[in-house]
Structure 1
Amino acid sequence: MTTTSETWAPPTEFAEDLYERYGLTCPPRWGTPRHPDRPSLGPKLWKVMTKLGAPPMPWQKYVSDVALEIDPETGLFAHREVGLSVSRQQGKTELTLGAQVHRAMAWHRQNIVYAAQTRGMARQRWEDEFWEKISGSDLARYARIRKSNGNEAILFPGKRSRMGITANTEKAGHGPPLDLGFIDEAFAHEDDRLEQAFSPAMLTRPMAQLWWASAGGTTKSLWLNRKREMGRALIEALFAVLAEDAAVARPRTAYFEWYAPEEMDRSDPETWRATLPALGYTVTEEIIAAELEKLDPAEFDRAYLNRTRKPTPPTDPNVPKAAWPGLVDAKSRPDAGSVALALDVSQDRKRAAIAAASLRPDGKVHMEVVAHRPGTEWVVPAVARLHALWKPVVVAVASAGAPAGALIDDLVAAGITVPKDKAAPERGDLVVMRSGDITEACGQMADAMNQGTIRHLDQVPLTAAVNGARTRRNGDAWTLDRTNSLVDISPLCAAVFARWALLIRGPHVMEDYDPMANIF
């Protein structure tokens, strides 16, 4: 399977098309584009939603218009599966209900089954929300409800169609052929038993569809996480081939996901505007701000930024992360004359980071992640540009035994050279850190955090690395452990190395450096 990147984005033409067609200003990060040559029953569903008292928002118009595309050659739905991953309180329930009622009233003898976390939760939503909206609408005269336990259904006698519920078991969907299956709150399903139960019941129904929908889950949400991974890969591959051939055959699965990568600040309204498609329609920025204040950050991320919630990691005793929030200074800036650079690469070489450290007038060390991106091919050109722009006092990299050590020769070739005479280094030289240097740098960083002698900007990659870092023994000391850390710690390693290089190697090339200024 193609590896996806959380920072992948579709071409700008995609967002422009969605705005032109639906007035959608918050496009999904991954979304199936509308096929321009296919008719769609989407507008029919919009009318049903309006009659149910919930006129569709732009994002709901887009999703339903694509989901209900008709293949002109077969007259059947172009998509057999529709996946929707969107944050809470965005109107998922209204779209789910509209799709079911539309199906029940558009064709005869439609069997529709809805599943949620549990059968009890499915019944509660079916009765308290679905039926309440239907019975209070202009469509009430077409439907009636049957509440007998085990045989619950909203019936449409004129069409002889039914909307039922089921449990999350292997027997779900067993019985008559299934025309439309809904798996709601997919984050609660740890396996594929519902999909495996629904799919065989759809085999003989040419217009059958499986819909699933959910906000982000946890690491235990195995089925949802796999579906999201597959959906992202599908969309990235689709846009890649569409760039070469617009007439290429499209997959039978439609996928839509609104998501905020970890690099986006959870407290920034711009993040909300790029992630919450109902913002400005049914929810406001004031409501989201209130949710941010009262919710645990990880739960806010899951519910409103559609991120997967990870287990709270135990604290590594060697990394004083409790001190980290108190070292934030949003106004801190590097001093142009005393910048040290360092780079690091993750253990799997999927990401790399460049960090800077600089002495402030108050003697504290400013620390900042300059770049944190996928891959490694960009690192040496970026360091070379920064080297020419900032004229750093030193550039640090771990030795050949570390992942970034593979870039040493390329750095030298780019003109960032190791000093010929270590006793007489020059400004901008490359320092290759040995094992002892790295151990020393890690211990010094922990002391600096405890003593409050550093300042940082609370950048997401660096803060995440501090919180997820793990260490390993190195003799009687310790060093950061890339392999066992819970996240990519290349931003932290780069920052630690930059600070060490600034304070240990910087004095040899910096003018007017007072070694006593950083002691008191």
Structure 2
Amino acid sequence: MTVPMRGGTARNLERRTDGAIVARFAELLGTPLLPWQRLVADVAGEIDPDTGTYFYDTVILSTPRQCGKSTLVDAWDTRNTQWGPNRYVYYLAQTGKDAGDHFKKFLKTLQASPLAPITGRPYMGRGSEAQPFRNGSIIMPKSVTKVSGHGVQGDKVTLDEAFSLSEETGNMILDGFVPTMATRLQATGVQPQLWITSTEGTADSTFFNRKLDECRAGDQSRRTCWFDFGLPPDADPENLDMIMRYHPAAGLLWRRDQLPDFREQWRNNPSGWARAFGNQRDEGVTDRVIDADLWATTTVPPISPSELGARPVVFGVAVDVDATHTSISAGIVNDDGIVTTQLLKIMDGTGHAPAEIKRLCDTYAAPLVIDTRGTSADLADRLRHMGDEETVRFCDLTATDYLTVGQSYVSGLSNGTVLHAADTDLDASAANSARTWAGDAWRVTRRGSTGLTSPLESCMLAAWGAAHMPEEDGPLQIF
């Protein structure tokens, strides 16, 4: 049977694999591997001929729901405990309840299987559940909050439902596990493995989105294998025949005549259906900040530095969620009083941003607008304490002021007092930025949007700053 896969790592037939042994454990657990599961087991189980242990240290798996991901993980975990004595296998889920529910189902299957004799008595204390094996190995469920930042010794770690994690939380978990996993290879002679598994998520899924996008771009480590199952990006999730064609468990775990009833469960949530059975990322923006027609009709050509003349300039700076990018925009006050906002730079992270912001402010004798709270707080603090403060003048932006920035910008576009210079990155930010309401006021929601919000936010701040420039410090006068 051909396994429909959107993308992933191909089997290297020059390496032998542990896949057949995993498949045997699955049979003993009463859940023989489906073709897609066997493909994953064969590739992820490839053996490095130089070391005699796993070639891959990281496995990234993206699947629709109702495909048997959990049974594959259980078979792999059980097999992993038998690589040697005193091995530590962890299953991590979003909450302790999720992890515990999965663990209880696994225990029921394991204890009823021919593998029961190699197990010990399970521990069922709340928060300390564990299944020991007679060779000293152990399988433990944990919530992600229980291991974040802790150096837990692990030989095989599964980070399940990774779509629920922000990049900050996901990286914190990896920071706790990965260094100690590296020492286990030396201690046991078996390469530890980290499995990151999930259905596609939403714009909030910054951790898993980035991992999956890196794999799709070919930017993963050579020791990372990945598997991506689901509908092609341009396929219609409402076409149930397409679901049958691309879902890896279609016709094996459920039938075509069940699909209409499955779809009915998501009757008021079409994007949820597309995620669940098509494994398509939810990138929809339902409450766009700026109307597309208004945005299109307020575009002007960019202004070059040589064209500035004596026109006043103010810079607006914004930082994206998880500090992934910093955007810098200029607010230019034209002779007729109309403000042109222009995106200047999108920088990776925030590390080099202070030097560039200081350079711009110094070069153009321009003040700066930045939110001193939220995602920009750390950058704002570094700017205030970088020395020679006279080169950076700040517009005083209060929390109340910040809630008016977006509305003021849209109002300015509507009444013709604000324009924006043409820029494809800014266009994308405007198209993908959503808003969240606080009473009668709103602001751009970084986690509810589907792309970079900082380009648009920086323009909004620059426009506000153009109307609230601090006065120049004049010479000291004594009366």
Counterparts of residues 41-56 of structure 1 (less than 5 Å): 41-56=18-33
Of 199, 212, 215 in structure 1, the residue corresponding to residue 178 of structure 2 is 199
Q: Are 1:485 and 2:431 an aligned pair?
A: yes
For residue 141 of structure 2, what is the aligned residue in structure 1? 165
CA offsets 1:21-65 (integer angstroms, 9 cap, x no match): xx3342x11110000100100000001001111110000000011
Of 154, 174, 186 in structure 2, the residue corresponding to residue 178 of structure 1 is 154
For residue 31 of structure 1, what is the aligned residue in structure 2? 8
Distance 1:282 1:148, change over 3 A: same
Task: Please state whether the residue corresponding to 1:254 is helix, strand or coil.
Answer: strand
For residue 281 of structure 1, what is the aligned residue in structure 2? 252
Distance 1:230 1:201, change over 3 A: same
Of 63, 68, 71 in structure 2, the residue corresponding to residue 86 of structure 1 is 63
Give the Cα–Cα distance (whole angstroms) in 2 for the partners of residues 167 and 311 of structure 1: 29
Give the Cα–Cα distance (whole angstroms) in 1 for the partners of residues 19 and 125 of structure 2: 33
Q: Are 1:215 and 2:199 an aligned pair?
A: yes
Task: Please state whether the residue corresponding to 1:145 is helix, strand or coil.
Answer: coil
Task: Please state whether the residue corresponding to 2:179 is helix, strand or coil.
Answer: helix
Q: What is the CA distance between 1:114 and its match in structure 2?
A: 1.0
Of 174, 189, 194 in structure 1, the residue corresponding to residue 165 of structure 2 is 189
* AA in 1 matched with 2:86: R
* AA in 2 matched with 1:126: F
Give the Cα–Cα distance (whole angstroms) in 2 for the partners of residues 257 and 108 of structure 1: 33
CA contact (8 A) 2:151 2:177 kept: no
Distance 1:315 1:37, change over 3 A: closer
Of 205, 209, 212 in structure 2, the residue corresponding to residue 228 of structure 1 is 212
CA contact (8 A) 2:285 2:432 kept: no
Q: What is the CA distance between 1:231 and its match in structure 2?
A: 1.6
For residue 422 of structure 1, what is the aligned residue in structure 2? none
For residue 299 of structure 1, what is the aligned residue in structure 2? 272
Give the Cα–Cα distance (whole angstroms) in 2 for the partners of residues 68 and 202 of structure 1: 17
Count of aligned pairs: 300
Distance 1:209 1:278, change over 3 A: same
CA contact (8 A) 2:230 2:248 kept: no
* AA in 2 matched with 1:73: D
Task: Please state whether the residue corresponding to 1:485 is helix, strand or coil.
Answer: helix
Q: What TM-score do you get using the length of structure 2 for normalisation? A: 0.57
Q: What is the CA distance between 1:227 and its match in structure 2?
A: 0.9
Of 242, 258, 268 in structure 2, the residue corresponding to residue 271 of structure 1 is 242
CA offsets 1:366-422 (integer angstroms, 9 cap, x no match): xxxxxxxxxxxxxxxxxxxxxxxxxxxxxxxxxxxxxxxxxxxxxxxxxxxxxxxxx
For residue 491 of structure 1, what is the aligned residue in structure 2? none
Give the Cα–Cα distance (whole angstroms) in 2 for the partners of residues 135 and 149 of structure 1: 20
Say what the alpha-carbon RMSD is for the aligned residues: 3.1
Q: Are 1:117 and 2:94 an aligned pair?
A: yes
* AA in 2 matched with 1:179: D
Give the Cα–Cα distance (whole angstroms) in 2 for the partners of residues 285 and 119 of structure 1: 34
CA offsets 1:454-512 (integer angstroms, 9 cap, x no match): xxxxxxxxxxxxxxxx9975979xxxx9552239xxxxxxxxxxxxxxxxxxxxxxxxx
Distance 1:108 1:179, change over 3 A: same
Distance 1:268 1:44, change over 3 A: same
Q: What TM-score do you get using the length of structure 1 for normalisation? A: 0.53
Give the Cα–Cα distance (whole angstroms) in 1 for the partners of residues 147 and 68 of structure 2: 30
For residue 149 of structure 1, what is the aligned residue in structure 2? 126
For residue 58 of structure 1, what is the aligned residue in structure 2? 35
Distance 1:269 1:262, change over 3 A: same
CA contact (8 A) 1:169 1:193 kept: no
Counterparts of residues 89-488 of structure 1 (less than 5 Å): 89-127=66-104, 129-143=105-119, 144-157=121-134, 159-169=135-145, 171-172=147-148, 174=150, 177-190=153-166, 191=169, 192-206=171-185, 207-234=191-218, 251-295=222-266, 296-310=269-283, 312-314=285-287, 473=414, 483=428, 484-486=430-432
Task: Please state whether the residue corresponding to 1:211 is helix, strand or coil.
Answer: strand
Distance 1:319 1:208, change over 3 A: closer
- Percentage of matched positions with identical amino acids: 29
Distance 1:185 1:225, change over 3 A: same
CA contact (8 A) 1:170 1:196 kept: no
Provide structure 1 residue ranges, at least 5 long, that are not aligned to the other structure: 1-22, 239-249, 321-469, 488-520
Q: What is the CA distance between 1:272 and its match in structure 2?
A: 1.2
* AA in 1 matched with 2:431: S
Give the Cα–Cα distance (whole angstroms) in 2 for the partners of residues 211 and 310 of structure 1: 25
Give the Cα–Cα distance (whole angstroms) in 2 for the partners of residues 176 and 225 of structure 1: 25
Give the Cα–Cα distance (whole angstroms) in 2 for the partners of residues 317 and 146 of structure 1: 55
Task: Please state whether the residue corresponding to 2:79 is helix, strand or coil.
Answer: helix
* AA in 2 matched with 1:303: A
